Chains A and B, each alone.
Chain A
Amino acid sequence: MASNEEGSIGTSMHGVTAREQVYSFSVDASSQTLQSDDPTAKFGLPVDSEHRAKVFKPLSFAKPHMRAFHLGWISFFTCFISTFAAAPLVPIIRDNLDLTKTDVGNAGVASVSGAIFSRLAMGAVCDLLGARYGTAFSLMLTAPTVFSMSFVTGPVGYLAVRFMIGFCLATFVSCQYWTSVMFNGKIIGLVNGCAGGWGDMGGGVTQLLMPMVFQVIRLAGATPFMAWRIAFFIPGFLQVVVGVLVLTLGQDLPDGNLSTLQKSGQVSKDKFSKVFWFAVKNYRTWILFVLYGFSMGIELTINNVISGYFFDRFNLKLQTAGIVAASFGMANFFARPFGGYASDLAARLFGMRGRLWILWIFQTVGALFCIWLGRASSLPIAILAMMLFSVGTQAACGALFGVAPFVSRRSLGLISGLTGAGGNFGSGLTQLLFFSTSKFSTADGLSLMGAMAALCTVPVAFIHFPQWGSMFLRPSSDGERSKEEYYYSSEWTEEEKRQGLHEGSIKFAENSRSERSRKVALADFPTPETGTPTHV
């Protein structure tokens, strides 16, 4: 019988019904020494029942939670630098490769399109291989594409290389997945916001870094047409270094690495087809797909076009246009964490409904300021509009990832992947519609993009959780459907529930009770009743 282990990692209900799966670690000698004392004592931070950290200390590097956080956002930051490294150097590149505006625009679309597929794949990779390998694959397999800029001679090669470099934006998914398994739901909005925001900052930093590196290389004696190629070695090299750090210093899950845990039976392997089906079947996934397409999507588009816009429309010098463009991306440092924090705060007061409202408010406000940016004809007004637009949109990105971890427990990775892919899809679409043709000026393109974003934010009103409600509807009053356990265990078939494979989801459901509004939480019924698995 499985009830031999005392204080084993997992719920205290383990073994009561005798229907739970007997795990092979019960025979493993090494894991028993681990269980002799309190398993949570080995963590540097206080943890919950899933060993996810309950507090967030950004200045700490404690193993494994804070280390995962820092490795995650730095990987993502490096990938943003690589993907948008070409943007500030376009004035030099377009002369070297004899590009037209159409070529430049198409390459911009290509730079964000590759990630649509890689972000989808990354969700699956994380679910199956763990976040560490997901990140390392993304970094180290795309580093060759960054180096291959030295071979490019014309528009076709340029487009192909930017397309391939764009694949590395999949680190976004692995980074968010990593923080979602390492940090508790109450603070996940802030943690994801910081990781996402500080990573996105790479898009701003690159607008300053690449021209600076280019200048230094030119001072060392290279011609401009060679200097920009050498400059690309910097992001490539960074990717390799960070990839190695991730593999040596990182850990997939609070309890260890995925392959070790899977082989010892502590984490059960899931079937990809099931993970995929439950992600795709959930309509909320697709609403988040569209929403992210018009928050992160327009942010990625702006990274590609804003420097050129200020250079051309307001006749700024290249360096000045670069500084302005960098400010847009750098606002991510506080704007996205702020969005995540606001989402967590709203959840504390109003539960999930608060999170949804915050998301809608930020995204709509950002879109309205984008419309204003296109209309502004004087430089100070344009910059003001751009900064307000950046804060609104980036906070919306942070708020969205305060909601995403609750949509599914089983398919968390794939949903992060699909949402992330939505961001890239939105960017490709807006660049194609508004910035690749001479039909409208860039200024009109910006306003139209803002209008489209405001419209496409409305679907957030349709996200409804039976246990928590939606923007305009209350939670279900049905006794069974209003429980978190019902929602999360409905992702498992009866057969799987009998095998006890859904235990992780039950644990998660208990921890997610924080998403009820304060009023409902206070009137909650006693724990033992809700802690009972439903199949008993």
Chain B
Amino acid sequence: MCTPPFISNIKSQQTKAYSSSLSKYSDSRISMAIHKSLFASLLICLLFQISHGATKERLFSDLEKGALEVTAKPSREGVLDAGIDKLSITWKLSSTATKEAEFTTIKVKLCYAPVSQVDRPWRKTENELFKDKSCPHKIITRAYDKSPQSFEYTLERDIPTGTYFVRAYAVDAKDHEVAFGQSTNEAKSTNLFSVQAISGRHKSLDIASICFSVFSVLALLVFFVNEKRKAKIEQSK
């Protein structure tokens, strides 16, 4: 963080200004200096972040559709439990693929179905690839192989509750996506599966929570009653 040295500088400046009761001109000069140094430090911090921003505009619509045939078979019927149930994922080159020469790596990801994106703008599908947030969960990354591949994926414990499908991106040597395939149709309505997240709760947490709460209330009551008693004793003296 770039701001702490400036804050202590500002604090000492402020104390000096107060105790010597300067005229309003030096007050405004000091505040201007504060604003300038704050702005400068922020700009410096941000220059690093901006360069990471990656404002390339590669679009999803430019990718070759259906270049890979992907299937994702849940280990059992019904709603799957995160952390426990598995997905059997397979992918192979489709007969319609044209850009096969560029494939170096295959990135398989877990993606949200439209029903899980409603009223949740942080999961929105965007055409610009760097902005697209619909496939945040990585399953596996493997070097491209001509033969059919498969992977047994255990649903991670940080997968949220929702409806999903699987998509595999074919990536070239420059780490740019060139093609993809997914386990559902283009409208994302078939072959979807549902996942139920872990609750995140635990008995030990519940107990600790209750203990601390009781302590807090009791401590307050004890102090209160004690002081009332002492005040009464003072008065009766």
A-to-B contact residues, CB < 8 Å: 29-30, 56, 58, 91, 94-96, 98, 100-102, 133, 136-137, 140-141, 143-144, 147-148, 150-151, 153, 190, 208, 223-226, 228-230, 233, 236-237, 239-240, 243-244, 247, 257, 259-260, 263-264, 311-312, 314-317, 320, 323, 327, 330-331, 333-334, 337-338, 341-342, 345, 349, 379-380, 383-384, 387-388, 391, 438
Contact = CB atoms under 8 A, between A and B. Distances in A.
A132 to B, nearest CB: 9
A96 B160 contact: yes
Given A151-B209, A338-B14, A383-B42, A101 B231 contact: no
A188 to B, nearest CB: 14
In the A-B complex, the 10 residue pairs with the closest CB atoms: A225-B200, A144-B213, A95-B160, A100-B119, A147-B209, A143-B216, A140-B220, A150-B205, A263-B235, A98-B161
A233 B212 contact: yes
Nearest to A96: B200
B197 interface: yes
Given A56-B18, A323-B45, 14 more contacts: A29-B237, A94-B120, A96-B197, A96-B199, A102-B119, A147-B210, A147-B213, A148-B213, A224-B157, A225-B198, A226-B205, A247-B223, A263-B231, A264-B234
Contact of B200 (A229, A247, A260, A379): A229
Contact of B46 (A30, A208, A341, A383): A383
A481 B219 CA distance: 50
A147 B214 CA distance: 11
B227 interface: yes
Contact of A225 (B11, B18, B157, B217): B157
A243 B18 contact: no
A387 B42 CA distance: 10
A190 B209 CA distance: 39
Contacts of B208: 147, 150, 233
Contacts of A315: 53, 130-131
B140 to A, nearest CB: 20
Interface string B7-19: 1001100110110
A379 B237 CA distance: 69
A143 B118 CA distance: 35
Given A100-B120, A225-B157, A345 B42 contact: no
Given A96-B197, A150-B209, A243 B220 contact: yes
B231 A312 contact: no
Nearest to A218: B158
Interface in B116-165: 118-122, 130-131, 157-158, 160-162
A243 B202 contact: no
B40 to A, nearest CB: 11
A91 B160 CA distance: 11
B228 interface: yes
A387 B38 contact: yes
Interface in B182-214: 197-202, 205-206, 208-210, 212-214
Given A95-B158, A264-B235, A379-B50, A148 B209 contact: yes
A338 B216 contact: no
A226 B158 CA distance: 10
Nearest to A224: B158
Nearest to B220: A140
B49 interface: yes
